[in-house]
Structure 1
C-alpha cells in the first residue's frame, strides 16, 4: 500500500499541483496567515495561487520596512484582516498595513540586562500569537506581553521566569490553546530546569506550569504529579543542582482535534548523560514530544525521541500536524524532523510511533524500532564519556528551528537538511555548577571545521582523533547542506537543491500553485518548482535570509513577506559567503508582489583596515596570564565574540585605548549593559578579567602583524572564521 501511494504522490507532484487527495486532507492558509506556521497545522503551506511558476519573473518589491537591530531575524510575520504583525529583536513587535506598508504601531520591551548573558543563540524571537484582537509576544527576558492588536497598548504582562531559575530566556512564539496562552523557554546549557507555562488569555494569571525534568527528590514531592513517574528515569546520583535542562525553546502546537497542547522539549544539561546522571536512565522528559491538557497541564501522552540524550538532540524543531493516508486509513499525525537525523510520523491521538526514516548520517543510533519506538543506540560510536568521538548528526541538527513546509495535496515535505557531525570531547570531573553560565562540560567541534581545528589540538588528542573510524567519512564529506523535497510516508527524497554552506538553511514556504520559496544567507529569495525542484527565479536582496517566508492576499493581490538578518546559534561567526558579510546586517522586512519594483541593494561594507596598534606590552601580560585568559575567553566569551571585524558582535581584538582603559568597568561592572553587554563581575574575578584582556591584547598584536604582512603583499585583510566552539 505504501509503495503504491508513493508512486501516486510522486506522479501528482511531478504532474500538477491540481492533483489532490480527498477533502479531509486539506489544510493551508488562505488570504490571512494567522500564525507563524500559517494554518492550525503549522504547515507553512498556502492555498493562494496568483503567484505561480509561470509568472515568478514578474516578482518585485511591493514595500519594505526597517526593523530595529543588527542581529538574527527568525520570525515569520502574521497577517489578519489586512494588518501585518512582525516580531524582531528581543521581542520587538511592529504592525503595518499589509497592502501599503504604512506603519501602524510598534512595541519595544525593556529587557533585563542579565538576559543577554544567557541568550546562547542570539537575541532572536520566532513570532507572535494572535487571537481575538490580542497579540501575544514573549520578550527575551521572559516577560510575556498581551498587546492590543489595534494600538499596541500593553493589556497585561507576566514574568514567566521562576525565582532562582538561573539562565532562562524566551525566544519562541507563544501558542494560544483555548483560553490559555502557552510559552516555553530556552537555556538548558546554563544549569536550568526547563518548563512550559500556561497563562489565562484575559487576565495573564498563571494557570499551570509543567517542568520537563523532575526536581531533586530531597526537596520533597514533585511539583507536578506526572513527574513522579519520570523520577524513576533519573538515578539517585543525578547532579540535581545542574537543573537537568529540557528547556522547550520553540515547538509548541495546539491540536484542536484532540484538544491537546503538543510541546517539543530540549536537550539535557549538561550535555552528556555520564556527567548529568552517571547511573544512566532515560531522563524523561528530555528530547520528547509531550502532549498536555491545556486546562490542567496534565500529561496525556509522551514520546521520547532521544532517551538519555547526550548530544544536544532537542525535540524543539517545528512540528506539522496533518492527516495522512497510512495503510489505507486516514490518520492524524505529527510530522517531526528534529535535530537527531530522523523524520518521525507520530499518531497525535496517542503518541504511538507510526514510522521513522533516517535523513542523514546518524551514528548515535542506526535505526528506530517501530514496535517499541526506541532508537537502536550505537554506544561504541557515540559514547564520548571515555574519549573523543565523532558523532553524526551535529548539535546544530539535521533540522533545526528553520521551518519546513508540508503540501497536504502531494504529501511532500520541503525543508532544509544539513548532514554534518561533531567532534565531541568530554571534560573530566569533578563538575561544579556555575549559575547563569555555560555548564556543558564538553567541547563541541563541527566536522565542517575539523581540518582547520585539528592542528590546534594537543598532539596526543590530535592523534586520538585521527584514529577515529569516522575521519574517513568526514574527509569525504565534512558537510552536506540541501533543500529537500521528502515524501513523508516513505522518507524518500523526491528532489534536492544544494545550499551555500552548512550555516545556510533558510525556512520554507510552499503554495498550492506549485511553488517552493526559500531565502538564503547569500541574500537570494529563491523560487522553485515544487514538482521538479527546478530553480525558477532568484531575487537578490542584499540581505541574509534565515526565516521562512509567508504569503497573504489583500483585495485580491497576493504578497510574499519575509524578515532578513543573519544570526541565531553561532551568530557572531558571519559566513564569508553571506550578504551580511558583504553588506552588513541591518534588519529589514521585505514584501513582494507581482509587478513590484526592483529591490534596492545596500552599499557594500568598506574594505577592512589594519588592526589598530594596541601599544607596548604591560607587565601583567605574562605568558601565564595570556594562557589563562585564552581558556577563560573560550569558556565564557567566545560564544558571542568571534573577534573578526565582520562579526555581529564587537571585535575585541580591535579595541582603541579608551576601551582598553575601561575594559574592567565594561566586563566586571556592566558599563555597557544598556547595549546588551551584561556584567560578569559575579562570575569572573578581577584577576580573571585582566587575564582575558591580556589574551585579547596579545591576539590583537598578532593580528596587526598579520595584517601588515598581508598589506605588504597586496592581499585582502580577511581572517574570517566560520567555526564555532562551545567549551567548558
Structure 2
C-alpha cells in the first residue's frame, strides 16, 4: 500500500538574526557559495535560491507567522517598480538585502526591512524588443553568487552585476540566431560556479538549448541542445544523435524545432544532477513539423544533465510528439517520499498537459502519473511504458478542429508550485483552460517576431454571447495535492485563471496572490482562508519569506501582465484593476498602506471613423491583427488593460495609424514599426478591422445601457 511519511512533530526553528549593513559599508557583498546554497533550507532567514533551495520546494522553516496570528499581517512597506508591464520575479534575499526584477529585466536591490532602494540596474533592453517574445518582456528573477548578481536580459544577454553597487561586471550574448526572436525570461541558476540559463522563442522558430557560463569571467563552459539541428552536419553530442532518430523530414530543423528551456530547473547536490524542463515543439502541428511521426526528443521532457560538463544522463518525455504546446517547463520539485515502505528520491511536476508526475530522480523511472485537472487529450499514462494513452478522437486537431482540455495555456503554467514536507502536500496554482485548436498544415516560420503556432491565427469570438460562454469555462484553482496517493486533498476555486505562485511554511500556511488583485494566506492542512489583503493589481509571481532582526516578512511581487492578461484580455473579465507594478512586503502588525486602487474604465471615443472596407478586407485585417498584434493588444482586439485598448482609439490615433504602425513614431514608447513585415495594404486592413471592432464596442455598450435601463424600470 502506498502511503506518505508525514512529519509528526512541528519543526522548532530558531529565527536567525540577520544584521543588515548598508551599501555605504565598503566591501559588504553577499557571501553565497556552494556550501551555503547546498544548505539553503537550513538558513530560513534568507531566500538564497529561486525556489528557496536547490530542490525548488518553496517551503520555509520559518514559523513566527502561523495559523493563529496570520490574520494580523499588515503591509510593512511597498516599492513602486518602474514599468507596469507584468511582474513575474521571485526575489532573492541575502543578509537583509532583496534582489529582484521587473519588466524589461531591470534589477533592483532593496533594503529587505524598509524597502529603501539601494541600487538599480537597467540593462537598457530596447522597449521595441517586446514584440520578439510570445508573452511580454517579463523576467522571473536573478541568482546570487560570491558577490555577484546574475540576470538574463530579455534581449538574450546574461549579465553579471556587482552585488554591492549594481555595476556591470561582465555581459555575454547567449543567442545563437539573431535572425529569429529569441529572448530570456527565466531566472538563472548557479551551480558550483556555473551560471546556467536557457532561452525562449519556440513559437518564433527557435532551436532550444541551455548554456553554462563561468561565474567569474562569463566564458562559456558548455551548451546542451534539446532538439537536433541540420542533419547534414555532425550531431553536437550523443544525446543529439539519439534525438535525431526521433525526427523526420527536413522542415523541423529549418523551422527551428522548439524545445526551449525557458523556466524551470532544479539541482540535487548528492546525485550531482541538474534537471531541466524542456518546452514545446515548433511548429505545433506535427504533420507540418515532422511528417506526422516521431517522439521528437527532447521536447516536452525533463532531462537530467551534469552541471559541470553538460553531459546527458537521462530523460523522461511527458508528451511524446507534442503538438499541443504541452511544455514541461513548469516547476520541477525534488523531495524524498516514502512509497511502499521505501524512501524514494523523487522529482515531481505538474506540467501543462494536466498529469501530475512523480519520477525517480536518480534514473528518470516513472513512479506514478494522474490527472490533476480535467484532461481529454489522453486517457491515462501507462505505468509500464511511461507513455500517455492518447485519445486521437479528442486530441488530433491536425485533421479538424478539436476542443482541447487542457488547452495551450495548460492545467498549470509557469507560476511556481510549492511542497510542504510537514503536510506532505504540493500546492499547485492550477487552472481549467480549454482551447479550440484548428489545423493549418501549411503554416511556416515567417520571420523575426511573427507568431506561428502551426494553427490558424489565435482569435476570440467577437460575438458577446459566445465570448461570455468561453469566459465561463476558464476557472482558477489552488489545489493541495497528495503526490503519493495522487489525489486532491483540498481546493480553493477562483473566478479566473492566471493566479499566482505558492509558498508554504512551517507555520502551517500557504501564501498565494490572485489574478483579481489580492494576496492570501490559507491553512496548509485544511485550505481554510485565514488572511487576505488587497494588492490593487493581479499577482502572478511566487511569494517569499525571510527574517531581518528576528522579524518575519512575506513578500509578493505584484503586477499584471504576460500572455494571458495581454493576449487573452477578452477572457480576463474578472480583473478590472489597473496594472500597477509593486513589491509588497508584509509583517505582523504592519501599518503601511497602498494608494487606492484605480479601476479600469471602458469608454467610447467621441468620433469613431466610418467603416469603409468590405468584408474580405476586414477578414484579412482580423487575421493580420491576430498574427502580429494580438499577443500584445489582445486577440480579437480585446484589451486586458495592460496596453492601450485599440477598441477605444482616439481620432488622433486613427489619423496617425499608418505613421504609428509603419513609421514607428511611437517606438520610443515601445511600439515598433511593422513596415518590415506588413505592407501598407495589410496595415490599412488592420486599421479597418479595428474600426469595425470599435463600432462593435459601441454597439455592445449601447445594448448594455439599454438592458440596465430596462432593469431600472
TM over 0.5: yes
Q: Is the 8 A contact 1:62 1:591 kept in 2?
A: yes
2:629 maps to which of 616, 620, 637: 637
Distance in 1 of aligned mates of 2:575 and 2:433: 23
Deviations, residues 642-678 of structure 1 (Å, cap 9, x unaligned): 3456621112233333333332232223322232222
The alignment partner of 1:351 has SS state of: coil
2:594 maps to which of 600, 611, 616: 600
Deviations, residues 558-607 of structure 1 (Å, cap 9, x unaligned): 0000111112222224478778623x111000110001115334243374
Alignment partner, residue 209 of structure 1 = 223
Deviation of the 1:262 alpha carbon: 1.2
Q: In the TM superposition, what are the counterparts of 1:257-276 in structure 2 within 5 Å?
A: 257-276=270-289
Confirm or deny that 1:118 pairs with 2:113. no
Alignment partner, residue 684 of structure 1 = 678
Distance in 1 of aligned mates of 2:471 and 2:684: 43
Confirm or deny that 1:487 pairs with 2:490. no
Deviation of the 1:612 alpha carbon: 3.1
1:127 maps to which of 136, 141, 151: 141
Confirm or deny that 1:256 pairs with 2:296. no
Alignment partner, residue 47 of structure 1 = 61
Alignment partner, residue 627 of structure 1 = 619
Alignment partner, residue 177 of structure 2 = 163
Deviates more, 1:377-386 or 1:644-653: 644-653
Q: Is the 8 A contact 2:430 2:476 kept in 1?
A: yes
Deviation of the 1:136 alpha carbon: 0.6
Change (3 A) 1:551 1:401: same
Deviations, residues 345-372 of structure 1 (Å, cap 9, x unaligned): 1122212212212212222221112232
Q: TM-score, normalised by structure 2?
A: 0.90
The alignment partner of 1:649 has SS state of: coil
Confirm or deny that 1:661 pairs with 2:655. yes
Q: In the TM superposition, what are the counterparts of 1:160-199 in structure 2 within 5 Å?
A: 160-164=174-178, 166-199=180-213
Distance in 2 of aligned mates of 1:644 and 1:445: 12
Q: In the TM superposition, what are the counterparts of 1:161-560 in structure 2 within 5 Å?
A: 161-164=175-178, 166-218=180-232, 220-429=233-442, 431=444, 433-443=446-456, 478-501=473-496, 503-560=497-554
Deviates more, 1:560-569 or 1:292-301: 292-301
The alignment partner of 1:216 has SS state of: coil
Deviations, residues 707-727 of structure 1 (Å, cap 9, x unaligned): 4565577679xxxxxxxxxxx
Deviation of the 1:611 alpha carbon: 2.1
* Structure 2, unpaired ranges of 5+: 14-37
Q: Is the 8 A contact 1:87 1:126 kept in 2?
A: yes
* Structure 1, unpaired ranges of 5+: 457-473, 717-728
Q: Is the 8 A contact 2:560 2:580 kept in 1?
A: no
Distance in 1 of aligned mates of 2:653 and 2:484: 58
Q: Is the 8 A contact 2:214 2:221 kept in 1?
A: yes
Q: Is the 8 A contact 2:319 2:388 kept in 1?
A: yes
Change (3 A) 1:601 1:454: closer
Root-mean-square deviation over aligned CA pairs: 2.8
Deviates more, 1:437-446 or 1:172-181: 437-446
The alignment partner of 1:354 has SS state of: strand
The alignment partner of 1:426 has SS state of: coil
Q: Is the 8 A contact 1:139 1:171 kept in 2?
A: yes
Q: Is the 8 A contact 1:60 1:596 kept in 2?
A: yes
Alignment partner, residue 726 of structure 1 = none
Deviation of the 1:478 alpha carbon: 3.2
Alignment partner, residue 556 of structure 2 = 562
Distance in 1 of aligned mates of 2:624 and 2:709: 33
Q: Is the 8 A contact 2:572 2:640 kept in 1?
A: no
The alignment partner of 2:630 has SS state of: coil
Distance in 2 of aligned mates of 1:607 and 1:192: 38
Alignment partner, residue 32 of structure 1 = 46
Distance in 1 of aligned mates of 2:640 and 2:361: 45
Confirm or deny that 1:591 pairs with 2:605. no
Alignment partner, residue 614 of structure 1 = 608
The alignment partner of 1:658 has SS state of: helix
Deviates more, 1:141-150 or 1:233-242: 233-242
Alignment partner, residue 83 of structure 1 = 97
The alignment partner of 1:371 has SS state of: coil
Change (3 A) 1:135 1:606: closer
Deviates more, 1:265-274 or 1:568-577: 568-577
Alignment partner, residue 464 of structure 1 = none
Q: Is the 8 A contact 2:605 2:650 kept in 1?
A: no
The alignment partner of 2:176 has SS state of: coil
Distance in 2 of aligned mates of 1:628 and 1:200: 49
Deviations, residues 29-59 of structure 1 (Å, cap 9, x unaligned): 6100112211221111000010011011211
Alignment partner, residue 150 of structure 2 = 136
Deviation of the 1:497 alpha carbon: 1.2
Q: Is the 8 A contact 2:280 2:322 kept in 1?
A: yes
Distance in 1 of aligned mates of 2:554 and 2:228: 44
Distance in 2 of aligned mates of 1:169 and 1:261: 22
Q: Is the 8 A contact 1:357 1:490 kept in 2?
A: no
Distance in 2 of aligned mates of 1:429 and 1:437: 15
Distance in 2 of aligned mates of 1:534 and 1:489: 22
Distance in 2 of aligned mates of 1:234 and 1:95: 45
Deviation of the 1:628 alpha carbon: 1.7
Deviation of the 1:375 alpha carbon: 1.5
Change (3 A) 1:570 1:189: same
